[in-house]
Structures are given as C-alpha cells and as structure tokens.
Structure 1
Amino acid sequence: MAPTSETLTAERILEATEEVLRRHGPAKATVVDVARALGVSHGSVYRHFRTKAALREAVTKRWLDRTSHMLAGIVAAEEGAPETRLRDWLAALFEAKRHKAGDDPELFATYTVLADEMGTVVGEHLADLTGQLTRIIADGAGSGTFAVPDPAAAARAVFQATGRFHDPGYAREWTRPGVEEEFTAVVDLLLRGLSSPSR
C-alpha cells in the first residue's frame, strides 16, 4: 500500500531519492520520480524539502555524514594510543571511500557530481573530518606523543598529504596493485614526522 503524506518522513524521502539517483543519475532524477517511488504526490515531497536543490543537498549531506559518523567512533576511543587512532582513522577513511566507489560505482559517480555542486555541504564535511583529525593530533600533542605546536595545522597537512587515498578524483587508483603498501608508507612517514623526538 502506498504511504500517505502523514507517514512520510524526511528519512524515507532521502532513501527513495538515493534509489532514484542510482537508477537515473543526477541529471535525469526529478522530484516527481522520487514522489512516484514513494507513491505520493510531488507536493508531499516539497513539504519536507522546499526545492529540488534542498533535496539534493540533504541527500548529499546524508551520504557524507555516514563516513563522518563512522570515523567519529575512532576519535572518541580516547583510551587508544594517538598513533594507533590516527593510523586507524586514516585507514578507515580510505576503506570507506574504496567501499563506496567499488560496491556501488553508479551511486559513487552520482554523488561525486552532486558533491561538486554542493560546495557548502562538502566544505562542512571536510571541516568535520579535519576537526576529527585535529582532536586526535591534539590528544597526541597533549600526551607528548606528537611534537606539533599547532594541531589544527598539522591535521590539515595530514589530510592533504593523504588526499590520494580519499579524494574521489583518485578513485581509479584505489584498486591498483600495491596501493595498500603505498598508503602504509605514506602514513608511516607522516607518523614519524609528527612524533616527538624523544620517542
């Protein structure tokens, strides 16, 4: 039975939007397609998202937030050594991106297009990720594990230095033979650079 507008939630609309984007791509997907998939009028969708752009922004944010929330658990594990948390965080980011690109390439390509259109949403996502890195590095600086005067600047540098392993522009390289070894070598180098000389 088709849902009524009373049972329609923003989350259900976003789930349907993701399916529509997977089927039609960002250029052809419409609010009418989303409404049809839900069995409601397009006006019902607009009651939750005022414009098509707002819907696209929300679905893009939801997609990006999945990665942020997963990584936040590593940041919160404060009992772990900072080096281990930093290595685990970078590895989890790389694996999450590879998963998205490899498991659902059509949707990954769609979100890459949407992310290019949604500069504010992407900027907030990148700020969240570098904020998570900053917290790990600040914990390491506080314990004397890392010798960095400015954890935020160090976090930005680490994020940029590992861009090849999480920037969607490099997705084709993520399945290349030897990429895991290259990732490990980069992380090892970064950890040596961050480490306190006394360690």
Structure 2
Amino acid sequence: MSEEVQEEKKSGGKGLIIVLLVVVILLLVGIGVMAFLLLSGDKSGDNGSADTGLHGSAEHGSENGHADENSHAKEYSPKYKQFEPPAPESPPTYFTMEKFVVNFNGNGQAKFLAVDLKFMSYYPQVVGDAGEMEPLRPILKNDIERLLRNQSYNELSKADGPDKLRAEILDVTRKVLENHNIYPGLLEDVFMTRFVMQ
C-alpha cells in the first residue's frame, strides 16, 4: 500500500513539472512572437515613412508624413490642387488687393471705409504674381466689398473691431479659395496696411 502512495506522488510530481514546462515554453514562444511583431512593425513603419518621403510633394510633409516644425508645408486632402511645399527657410509671399473704398453704416460718425489688404502665404503658387489668387481677383473684390459694406461704425470703432474684420476677410477669402479647389489653409493671414473711416 505504501508503494502505491509513493508511485502516485512520483507521477503527480512529474505531471506538475510537465505543466510548468509547458507554461514556460508557451511564455517564451509568446514573448518571441511579440518581439518579432514589434521589430517587424518598426521596419514596416520605416518603409512607410520612406514611401511618404517619395511622395512628399503630394503629402506636403517631411519624411515621416508630418510637417516639420520649422517647415511651412501643409498637409491636406488630395481633393484640392497640390503644390510643391515651400522650403523651410522660405519667406512669406504677399498678394496685394487694390484699395477698397466703400460706403458703410457709419451711424452718423463716418460714411466711408477705406482698407488696403495684403494676403500672406508661404506658397507663392497661391499668392504670387501668377498665382492661383490672381484670376480670382474680381470674385475676391466683390465678396470683400460686400463684407465691408455690411460693417458698422459701432463695431469697427471698438478696440478689437479691426482684428475681427481681418478675421472675417480671411474667412471670406478662404471660402473663395475652397470653392475653386484650393486648400484654404494655404492662405496664412491677411494684413490691413490701411484702415480709415471718414
């Protein structure tokens, strides 16, 4: 009887050792598979960034697909016209609109509003002399004049009035660009080089 008990203890000990060995082997295999996936994932990430670098002009980004901090290049949808991204050190380019002089709601204080505008972008293809905005000049003039005519002296005479007007002019201009298949974010800002209410 004592021999049967000893055999059961021996076989039970062997079973436990076998189970522990199987668990350890499975853990090692799992760690190996995970390490392989992580390492092969990094390599495919490198290949993906190399592909993006090859098509950098379409993606408007640096080698990793994201715009470099020092770069003025923009990433945008391929549904818009694509332009070569500017060099990181390139200066901004400006598109000048002729003087706007409009009647507006002066509330007895002023009747005329005169504004000169310069639009800024790092993409000369958009704002340069032969850029995309040049053929849109009549549309821009019409839409901006309409916006200016709808202003009121009370709003414009506030401390932040001219800044709000600049933001509205930028919005109107970006909508015109978007309607003509140009990514609106390529237009960075607009500056009023003259702002007179008389």
Fold conserved between structures, TM > 0.5: no
**Greater strand share, 1 or 2?**
2
**Greater helix share, 1 or 2?**
1
Q: TM-score, normalised by structure 2?
A: 0.23
